[in-house]
Structures are given as C-alpha cells and as structure tokens.
Homo-oligomer: A and B are copies of this chain.
C-alpha cells in the first residue's frame, strides 16, 4: 500500500540524493530553479505554489516588482523546473465590492479541492489576512470572501473536507514583522464562514530554529500515518530572523492534534542563494508535489525572499524520521 493517499505523478521533478549526502531532504542541483529576474521588471520570485496540471504543472507565484509591490502571478511548466510566468499579475473576478480596492497579495498556496484549484494567500485588507479564490484553468481566477479577520498569514487549506467541513490552517499575526506565531485550525461549512478554531501547535523554547514563530507550508499531504505537514519555523538571532523547514504529522480526523513533530529542522539556509538576498537566511516552503507509488516528494520553497528553489525527499523516510524525532 502506498503511504501517500494520493495520485501517481510519474513526471514529478526528481533528482536522486547525491552520494555523499546523508540528509533526509536534499536540494536540486539546478537551484535556484527560478531566478529573481525571470520577468522583466521583477525584483524577486519566491514563496510560490505549484500543482500538477494537465500534462504538466501550473502554479501561482509571488512576484515582487521593482516598486517592491507584492503580487501573485500564474505560471505554467512542462517539467516543474522551467517555468513560464505570466507577465501580468492575477486580477481576480469577484462579486464582493469590498474586496476590490487592491492592497497586496503574497505567499500563495494552491490546493485541488473537490472540483477546482483553490488559492489561499496573504491578502491586504486593512492589514494582512487570508484571501481565498479559485481557478480551473490558471487563466481566470475568482475571489471569495477573506477567510478571517486581519491580522493573519500562512492560510493553508486541507485537500478534502474533514468531518463534513472544509478545513484551514493559519497563523494569526500582528501588523508588522510579527515576533510570535502559532498554527491554528479552523472549519467552514461553505468556505465563507469559519469557526470552531483550534490551537494546533506553538513555537518551542527548546528547539531554537522554531522558537519565535511557526507557520504551515504546503497543502498537507494525506498519508496512512496522518496528515504530513511541512512548515517553517523562525529563530531570532542578533541579526534578525532565520527561517527553516520542519515537518509534523497531524491526526487524520482531528488535525489539530499533533501526533509527531520534528525537533531538528529538515532544511535550513546553508547555501549562498538561501543566505544572501533581499532577506538573508530564509527557507520558506509553500508547495509539495507527491507521487504516491514511489513516495517521492518535491518541495518548492522560497530562498532569501529572492528566488524559488526545489528540494526532494521520500515520504517513508520522512515519516520515519518525524516519528523518531
């Protein structure tokens, strides 16, 4: 039986672990797979979300322009490595007049749910909150009501209803470079009204890399062992924040119950493209592709708030490690 309860994705981007590498998660040799200036006028392209689409892949990308405005753009790729990103940012169609004055969009996630691709992102509405929208074709995008009151970031949908309701993780925040942050779970009957908020997990004093704040990363991956959640954790050094990646296993039916959680990080800023850039020392995962038969997982992450990168792992090794640590 496959550990990942999902589809096959034979064309998942993949590179084998280098021989001398003993790490559970390893980087693509082609990193950064998307340079900061892929688009004319782009300042940086990072913290982006990717899904299988047709024969290939589609995605929603955070593109900061040289005004340093934060926007999201759609993109398509044959192989998940080389990307064509739309020059224009996504303009949502919506019936809600209140949502129309545009402020900013960033850090998107994409999730196939029931019959379409849902997007969640950090949406500026008198402060950062969780925008919700959907698309079927990555050309036309529709916007629904914001899920929560400000101030919130890192809203991540589950890929199916849980107990008759839609479910989302998020990380309530403040108005700035928030120095705290727990992950919460919320439920909705209609993707419009949300309630039954549950606390999932907090930063830890003990394990420094996740001692300041934590936030959900890619759409949770359903496995036989629970929801596999990749998340970022933040350490505060004397010179600022350091973002690393860890993983947790959440109960399948009550996902606010944490079954296991990694004490060590899985990936942290070690390479020049992770350590140097607009924000030094950032590894920020936003999407994961999975191939159930082989257990392969390809993680897309933003590096240094500047470029988009790819790393690989294997579900069984990862789950074993999460359980053991």
Chain A residues within 8 Å of B, Cβ to Cβ: 22, 36, 40-41, 43, 64-70, 98, 125-127, 129, 145-152, 170, 172, 174-175, 177-178, 180, 182, 184, 186-190, 192-199, 202, 206-209, 211, 235-242, 256, 263-265, 268-270, 272, 275-281, 305
Contacts and interface: CB of A to CB of B under 8 A. Distances in A.
Contacts of A172: 127, 149-151
Contact of A41 (B264, B272, B276): B264
Contacts of A69: 206-208
Nearest to A256: B98
A237 to B, nearest CB: 5
B238 A239 contact: no
Contacts of A193: 187-190, 193-196
A317 to B, nearest CB: 15
Scoring A129, A174, A239, A278 by chain B CB atoms within 10 A of each residue's CB, the highest score goes to: A239
17 contacts: A43-B268, A67-B263, A67-B265, A68-B207, A69-B206, A70-B208, A145-B197, A148-B197, A149-B149, A188-B193, A192-B195, A193-B194, A193-B195, A238-B241, A239-B241, A242-B278, A272-B276
A270 to B, nearest CB: 7
B187 A264 contact: no
